[in-house]
Amino acid sequence: MHKTFKLAVFVFIILFPAISFGQYNNSFFQDIFFYRQPNARAEAMGKAYASIDGDISTMFFNPAGTASIKGLELNAYFSSPYYLMPQIKFNYFGLAYHFNKYLTIGLSRNQVNYGTMLLRTNENPEGIGVSGIVAHSIYTLNVASQPIKDLFVGINTNYMVYNVISENPKTLFFDFGVIKKLPLNQNRNFQQSINIAANICNLNNSKMTFENADKTAEITKYSYDLPVITRYAANYQLIYKNHLLNDTLNILEFLAQAEYDDLLNSDYMTSYHFGAELKMVEILSLRAGYYHRKIDDYGNPSYQKDNISSFTYGFGFQLPLYKLIKFPLNINFDYTSQPELTNSKITSDSGDYNSYTFRLNWRF
Protein backbone atom coordinates (compact mmCIF):
# COMPACT_ATOMS: atom_id res chain seq x y z
CA MET A 1 0.00 0.00 0.00
CA HIS A 2 2.72 2.47 0.99
CA LYS A 3 4.91 1.63 -2.01
CA THR A 4 1.92 1.96 -4.32
CA PHE A 5 1.07 5.39 -2.91
CA LYS A 6 4.64 6.65 -3.26
CA LEU A 7 4.81 5.38 -6.84
CA ALA A 8 1.50 7.06 -7.73
CA VAL A 9 2.63 10.40 -6.30
CA PHE A 10 5.94 10.51 -8.14
CA VAL A 11 4.47 9.25 -11.42
CA PHE A 12 1.93 12.10 -11.16
CA ILE A 13 4.68 14.67 -10.60
CA ILE A 14 6.82 13.35 -13.47
CA LEU A 15 4.06 12.88 -16.06
CA PHE A 16 1.85 15.89 -15.37
CA PRO A 17 4.04 18.38 -17.30
CA ALA A 18 3.29 16.36 -20.46
CA ILE A 19 -0.33 17.55 -20.37
CA SER A 20 -0.98 20.60 -22.56
CA PHE A 21 -2.78 23.75 -21.42
CA GLY A 22 -4.10 26.94 -22.94
CA GLN A 23 -1.71 29.85 -23.35
CA TYR A 24 -1.24 32.16 -20.35
CA ASN A 25 -1.17 35.90 -21.03
CA ASN A 26 2.15 36.84 -19.43
CA SER A 27 1.09 40.37 -18.48
CA PHE A 28 -1.92 39.21 -16.47
CA PHE A 29 -1.91 38.49 -12.69
CA GLN A 30 1.90 38.80 -12.48
CA ASP A 31 1.68 40.86 -9.30
CA ILE A 32 -0.05 38.26 -7.15
CA PHE A 33 1.55 35.12 -8.62
CA PHE A 34 5.15 36.17 -9.30
CA TYR A 35 6.49 39.56 -8.28
CA ARG A 36 5.75 39.45 -4.56
CA GLN A 37 6.08 36.28 -2.52
CA PRO A 38 3.80 36.46 0.57
CA ASN A 39 6.58 35.70 3.03
CA ALA A 40 9.56 37.93 3.90
CA ARG A 41 11.72 34.87 4.63
CA ALA A 42 11.04 33.49 1.15
CA GLU A 43 11.72 36.90 -0.43
CA ALA A 44 15.09 37.04 1.32
CA MET A 45 16.11 33.52 0.23
CA GLY A 46 15.82 33.98 -3.53
CA LYS A 47 12.00 34.21 -3.69
CA ALA A 48 11.61 30.45 -3.22
CA TYR A 49 9.95 28.28 -0.58
CA ALA A 50 8.53 25.14 -2.21
CA SER A 51 10.80 22.72 -0.32
CA ILE A 52 10.25 24.29 3.13
CA ASP A 53 7.90 22.64 5.61
CA GLY A 54 6.56 23.63 9.03
CA ASP A 55 5.34 27.15 8.12
CA ILE A 56 1.74 27.99 7.23
CA SER A 57 2.70 30.43 4.48
CA THR A 58 4.17 27.46 2.59
CA MET A 59 0.61 26.77 1.39
CA PHE A 60 1.16 29.47 -1.27
CA PHE A 61 4.33 27.74 -2.54
CA ASN A 62 3.56 24.09 -1.80
CA PRO A 63 0.40 22.94 0.04
CA ALA A 64 2.28 19.96 1.51
CA GLY A 65 4.47 22.22 3.69
CA THR A 66 1.84 22.78 6.39
CA ALA A 67 1.68 19.06 7.27
CA SER A 68 4.52 19.41 9.79
CA ILE A 69 3.49 22.55 11.68
CA LYS A 70 3.03 22.22 15.44
CA GLY A 71 -0.25 23.15 17.10
CA LEU A 72 -1.89 26.41 15.96
CA GLU A 73 -0.16 28.98 13.74
CA LEU A 74 -1.11 32.54 12.81
CA ASN A 75 0.68 34.45 10.06
CA ALA A 76 0.54 38.02 8.71
CA TYR A 77 2.56 39.52 5.83
CA PHE A 78 2.68 43.13 4.61
CA SER A 79 4.61 44.73 1.75
CA SER A 80 4.76 48.12 0.01
CA PRO A 81 5.25 50.25 -2.03
CA TYR A 82 4.76 48.95 -5.58
CA TYR A 83 7.16 50.85 -7.84
CA LEU A 84 6.24 54.54 -7.39
CA MET A 85 2.72 53.80 -6.14
CA PRO A 86 2.68 53.71 -2.31
CA GLN A 87 -1.10 53.26 -2.25
CA ILE A 88 -0.74 49.68 -3.56
CA LYS A 89 -0.48 47.20 -0.68
CA PHE A 90 0.34 43.49 -0.59
CA ASN A 91 -0.86 41.44 2.36
CA TYR A 92 -1.29 37.83 3.39
CA PHE A 93 -3.08 36.37 6.41
CA GLY A 94 -3.03 32.71 7.36
CA LEU A 95 -4.34 30.41 10.07
CA ALA A 96 -3.65 26.67 10.38
CA TYR A 97 -4.15 23.94 12.97
CA HIS A 98 -2.32 20.62 13.16
CA PHE A 99 -4.83 18.05 14.45
CA ASN A 100 -2.49 15.06 14.10
CA LYS A 101 0.07 13.73 11.64
CA TYR A 102 -2.71 12.77 9.25
CA LEU A 103 -4.50 16.10 9.15
CA THR A 104 -3.61 19.79 9.08
CA ILE A 105 -6.18 22.34 7.93
CA GLY A 106 -5.34 25.92 7.01
CA LEU A 107 -7.06 29.06 5.71
CA SER A 108 -5.42 32.09 4.10
CA ARG A 109 -6.06 35.22 2.09
CA ASN A 110 -3.45 36.60 -0.30
CA GLN A 111 -4.26 40.04 -1.68
CA VAL A 112 -2.94 42.86 -3.85
CA ASN A 113 -4.92 46.01 -3.08
CA TYR A 114 -4.50 48.74 -5.69
CA GLY A 115 -6.52 51.28 -3.74
CA THR A 116 -9.37 53.45 -5.02
CA MET A 117 -9.43 53.97 -8.77
CA LEU A 118 -11.68 55.85 -11.19
CA LEU A 119 -13.52 53.99 -13.95
CA ARG A 120 -14.76 56.08 -16.85
CA THR A 121 -17.93 54.77 -18.46
CA ASN A 122 -19.63 55.26 -21.83
CA GLU A 123 -22.87 56.03 -20.03
CA ASN A 124 -21.33 59.18 -18.55
CA PRO A 125 -20.50 61.67 -21.33
CA GLU A 126 -18.75 64.00 -18.89
CA GLY A 127 -16.26 61.21 -18.19
CA ILE A 128 -16.56 61.48 -14.41
CA GLY A 129 -17.23 57.75 -14.10
CA VAL A 130 -17.42 55.77 -10.86
CA SER A 131 -14.75 54.99 -8.30
CA GLY A 132 -14.07 52.01 -6.06
CA ILE A 133 -11.50 49.60 -4.67
CA VAL A 134 -9.53 47.47 -7.12
CA ALA A 135 -7.93 44.30 -5.70
CA HIS A 136 -6.89 40.74 -6.48
CA SER A 137 -7.70 38.32 -3.64
CA ILE A 138 -7.05 34.58 -3.35
CA TYR A 139 -8.83 32.74 -0.53
CA THR A 140 -7.31 29.32 0.16
CA LEU A 141 -8.45 26.22 2.02
CA ASN A 142 -5.43 24.00 2.65
CA VAL A 143 -5.53 20.33 3.67
CA ALA A 144 -2.22 18.55 4.32
CA SER A 145 -1.19 15.18 5.71
CA GLN A 146 1.74 12.92 6.56
CA PRO A 147 0.34 9.53 5.45
CA ILE A 148 3.79 7.93 5.67
CA LYS A 149 6.65 8.95 7.95
CA ASP A 150 8.54 11.90 6.43
CA LEU A 151 6.26 12.11 3.38
CA PHE A 152 4.05 15.22 3.27
CA VAL A 153 1.21 15.76 0.80
CA GLY A 154 -1.24 18.62 0.48
CA ILE A 155 -3.95 20.17 -1.68
CA ASN A 156 -5.26 23.72 -1.92
CA THR A 157 -8.71 24.82 -2.98
CA ASN A 158 -8.34 28.45 -4.11
CA TYR A 159 -11.14 30.95 -4.67
CA MET A 160 -9.89 33.98 -6.58
CA VAL A 161 -11.83 37.25 -6.73
CA TYR A 162 -10.91 40.27 -8.83
CA ASN A 163 -12.66 43.40 -7.53
CA VAL A 164 -12.79 45.82 -10.47
CA ILE A 165 -15.11 48.58 -9.22
CA SER A 166 -18.24 47.64 -11.16
CA GLU A 167 -17.74 43.87 -11.45
CA ASN A 168 -16.25 41.00 -9.46
CA PRO A 169 -15.21 38.09 -11.68
CA LYS A 170 -14.35 34.91 -9.76
CA THR A 171 -12.73 31.57 -10.41
CA LEU A 172 -11.75 28.37 -8.59
CA PHE A 173 -8.42 26.59 -8.96
CA PHE A 174 -6.52 23.82 -7.20
CA ASP A 175 -2.91 23.12 -6.19
CA PHE A 176 -1.25 19.83 -5.31
CA GLY A 177 2.14 19.31 -3.67
CA VAL A 178 4.43 16.73 -2.12
CA ILE A 179 7.56 16.93 0.06
CA LYS A 180 9.79 13.98 0.95
CA LYS A 181 12.11 14.45 3.93
CA LEU A 182 15.26 12.31 3.93
CA PRO A 183 17.04 12.20 7.33
CA LEU A 184 20.81 11.82 7.02
CA ASN A 185 23.42 10.92 9.64
CA GLN A 186 22.03 11.78 13.06
CA ASN A 187 23.88 11.93 16.38
CA ARG A 188 23.68 13.73 19.70
CA ASN A 189 25.09 17.04 18.37
CA PHE A 190 24.30 16.99 14.64
CA GLN A 191 21.04 16.49 12.74
CA GLN A 192 20.99 16.60 8.95
CA SER A 193 18.21 16.16 6.42
CA ILE A 194 17.29 16.78 2.80
CA ASN A 195 13.87 17.81 1.51
CA ILE A 196 12.83 16.98 -2.07
CA ALA A 197 9.65 18.69 -3.23
CA ALA A 198 7.36 19.28 -6.20
CA ASN A 199 4.05 20.99 -6.69
CA ILE A 200 1.67 22.26 -9.33
CA CYS A 201 -0.40 25.44 -8.99
CA ASN A 202 -3.69 25.73 -10.92
CA LEU A 203 -3.76 22.08 -11.98
CA ASN A 204 -7.28 22.52 -13.42
CA ASN A 205 -6.12 25.33 -15.77
CA SER A 206 -8.65 27.84 -14.47
CA LYS A 207 -9.57 31.05 -16.28
CA MET A 208 -10.88 34.46 -15.21
CA THR A 209 -13.83 35.69 -17.29
CA PHE A 210 -14.77 39.37 -17.64
CA GLU A 211 -17.75 41.12 -19.16
CA ASN A 212 -17.13 43.95 -21.58
CA ALA A 213 -18.27 47.27 -20.07
CA ASP A 214 -19.31 48.36 -23.57
CA LYS A 215 -22.55 46.41 -24.06
CA THR A 216 -22.67 47.35 -27.75
CA ALA A 217 -19.32 45.68 -28.47
CA GLU A 218 -19.18 42.58 -30.66
CA ILE A 219 -17.37 40.63 -27.90
CA THR A 220 -19.32 40.79 -24.64
CA LYS A 221 -17.13 38.41 -22.63
CA TYR A 222 -13.43 37.64 -22.65
CA SER A 223 -11.26 35.29 -20.56
CA TYR A 224 -7.69 35.17 -19.32
CA ASP A 225 -5.88 31.97 -18.35
CA LEU A 226 -4.31 31.82 -14.93
CA PRO A 227 -0.69 30.56 -14.89
CA VAL A 228 -0.16 26.82 -14.43
CA ILE A 229 3.02 26.78 -12.35
CA THR A 230 5.18 23.75 -11.56
CA ARG A 231 7.87 23.95 -8.90
CA TYR A 232 10.70 21.47 -8.32
CA ALA A 233 12.81 22.13 -5.26
CA ALA A 234 15.24 20.70 -2.73
CA ASN A 235 16.94 21.87 0.43
CA TYR A 236 19.63 20.74 2.84
CA GLN A 237 19.27 21.39 6.59
CA LEU A 238 21.89 21.09 9.32
CA ILE A 239 21.24 21.53 13.05
CA TYR A 240 24.14 21.73 15.49
CA LYS A 241 23.51 21.19 19.18
CA ASN A 242 26.06 21.41 21.96
CA HIS A 243 24.63 20.03 25.19
CA LEU A 244 27.66 21.21 27.17
CA LEU A 245 26.97 24.86 26.26
CA ASN A 246 23.19 24.81 26.13
CA ASP A 247 20.88 21.88 26.64
CA THR A 248 17.79 23.75 25.43
CA LEU A 249 18.54 25.77 22.27
CA ASN A 250 20.22 24.72 19.03
CA ILE A 251 23.55 26.50 18.68
CA LEU A 252 23.46 26.83 14.87
CA GLU A 253 21.04 25.94 12.11
CA PHE A 254 21.93 26.12 8.42
CA LEU A 255 19.63 25.77 5.42
CA ALA A 256 20.46 25.89 1.70
CA GLN A 257 17.79 25.59 -1.00
CA ALA A 258 17.41 25.47 -4.78
CA GLU A 259 14.25 25.67 -6.87
CA TYR A 260 13.22 25.56 -10.52
CA ASP A 261 9.84 27.01 -11.55
CA ASP A 262 8.24 26.40 -14.94
CA LEU A 263 4.92 27.38 -16.50
CA LEU A 264 3.09 24.67 -18.43
CA ASN A 265 1.02 27.23 -20.35
CA SER A 266 3.66 29.82 -21.19
CA ASP A 267 7.12 30.15 -22.73
CA TYR A 268 7.96 32.80 -20.14
CA MET A 269 8.28 33.26 -16.35
CA THR A 270 10.58 30.22 -16.06
CA SER A 271 12.88 30.89 -13.11
CA TYR A 272 15.78 29.57 -11.01
CA HIS A 273 16.08 30.29 -7.30
CA PHE A 274 18.84 29.77 -4.74
CA GLY A 275 18.89 30.74 -1.08
CA ALA A 276 20.53 30.13 2.28
CA GLU A 277 19.84 30.87 5.94
CA LEU A 278 22.01 30.84 9.04
CA LYS A 279 20.19 30.81 12.37
CA MET A 280 22.11 31.45 15.59
CA VAL A 281 20.89 30.15 18.97
CA GLU A 282 17.38 29.94 17.47
CA ILE A 283 17.02 33.71 17.81
CA LEU A 284 18.75 35.60 14.96
CA SER A 285 18.58 34.50 11.30
CA LEU A 286 20.60 35.94 8.42
CA ARG A 287 19.45 35.18 4.87
CA ALA A 288 20.62 35.67 1.30
CA GLY A 289 19.68 34.38 -2.14
CA TYR A 290 19.56 34.87 -5.90
CA TYR A 291 16.95 34.37 -8.59
CA HIS A 292 16.77 34.62 -12.39
CA ARG A 293 13.47 34.80 -14.33
CA LYS A 294 12.82 34.72 -18.06
CA ILE A 295 10.31 37.36 -19.14
CA ASP A 296 8.69 38.53 -22.37
CA ASP A 297 10.33 41.43 -24.17
CA TYR A 298 7.17 41.78 -26.33
CA GLY A 299 9.26 41.86 -29.50
CA ASN A 300 11.13 45.04 -28.44
CA PRO A 301 14.60 43.84 -27.35
CA SER A 302 16.00 47.36 -27.62
CA TYR A 303 13.61 48.65 -24.97
CA GLN A 304 12.43 45.64 -22.95
CA LYS A 305 14.45 43.08 -20.99
CA ASP A 306 14.06 39.37 -21.68
CA ASN A 307 15.05 38.41 -18.13
CA ILE A 308 15.33 39.85 -14.65
CA SER A 309 17.64 38.70 -11.86
CA SER A 310 18.71 39.92 -8.46
CA PHE A 311 20.47 39.05 -5.23
CA THR A 312 18.19 39.00 -2.20
CA TYR A 313 18.81 39.37 1.54
CA GLY A 314 17.05 39.81 4.86
CA PHE A 315 16.96 38.80 8.50
CA GLY A 316 14.63 37.39 11.11
CA PHE A 317 14.15 37.22 14.87
CA GLN A 318 12.65 34.34 16.78
CA LEU A 319 11.61 34.10 20.43
CA PRO A 320 11.15 30.40 21.32
CA LEU A 321 9.31 30.86 24.61
CA TYR A 322 8.34 27.18 24.58
CA LYS A 323 12.03 26.38 25.11
CA LEU A 324 13.16 29.35 27.18
CA ILE A 325 10.43 29.47 29.83
CA LYS A 326 8.29 26.43 28.92
CA PHE A 327 5.44 28.68 27.75
CA PRO A 328 3.95 27.04 24.61
CA LEU A 329 4.52 29.97 22.23
CA ASN A 330 6.99 30.69 19.45
CA ILE A 331 7.18 34.24 18.01
CA ASN A 332 8.79 35.07 14.65
CA PHE A 333 9.47 38.35 12.85
CA ASP A 334 11.04 38.45 9.36
CA TYR A 335 12.08 41.45 7.28
CA THR A 336 13.55 42.16 3.88
CA SER A 337 14.08 45.22 1.69
CA GLN A 338 14.52 44.54 -2.02
CA PRO A 339 15.04 46.65 -5.17
CA GLU A 340 11.90 47.04 -7.31
CA LEU A 341 13.17 45.81 -10.67
CA THR A 342 11.81 47.26 -13.89
CA ASN A 343 11.33 45.35 -17.15
CA SER A 344 12.46 48.37 -19.17
CA LYS A 345 15.98 48.94 -20.47
CA ILE A 346 15.48 52.69 -20.75
CA THR A 347 14.21 53.48 -17.26
CA SER A 348 15.99 52.91 -13.97
CA ASP A 349 14.72 50.75 -11.11
CA SER A 350 12.21 52.40 -8.79
CA GLY A 351 13.84 52.14 -5.39
CA ASP A 352 13.21 49.48 -2.74
CA TYR A 353 10.14 47.84 -1.29
CA ASN A 354 9.84 46.47 2.24
CA SER A 355 8.28 43.18 3.36
CA TYR A 356 7.39 42.04 6.89
CA THR A 357 6.12 38.73 8.22
CA PHE A 358 4.80 38.08 11.74
CA ARG A 359 4.16 34.50 12.87
CA LEU A 360 2.79 33.12 16.14
CA ASN A 361 2.85 29.41 16.94
CA TRP A 362 1.00 27.92 19.91
CA ARG A 363 2.50 24.48 20.51
CA PHE A 364 -0.29 22.62 22.27
What per-residue confidence (pLDDT) applies to 14? Answer: 47
What per-residue confidence (pLDDT) applies to 97? Answer: 97
Of 90, 92, 56, nearest in space to 73 by CA: 56
Work out the average pLDDT over 289-296.
94
Q: What confidence tens digit (pLDDT) does each residue in 129-182 have? A: 555 678 889 999 999 999 999 999 999 999 999 887 667 889 999 999 999 999
The CA distance from 121 to 228, in Å, is: 33
What per-residue confidence (pLDDT) applies to 129? Answer: 53
Work out the average pLDDT over 24-44.
86
Q: pLDDT grade, residue 4 (50/70/90)?
A: very low
pLDDT above 50 for 1 = no
309, 332 in Cβ contact below 8 A? Answer: no
The CA distance from 251 to 244, in Å, is: 11
**Backbone Cα Rg of the chain:** 22
* Average pLDDT over all residues of the chain: 86
What per-residue confidence (pLDDT) applies to 7? Answer: 44
Q: pLDDT grade, residue 244 (50/70/90)?
A: low
What per-residue confidence (pLDDT) applies to 118? Answer: 55
What per-residue confidence (pLDDT) applies to 282? Answer: 93
Q: Which CATH superfamily is domain 2-362 in?
A: monomeric porin ompg (2.40.160.40)
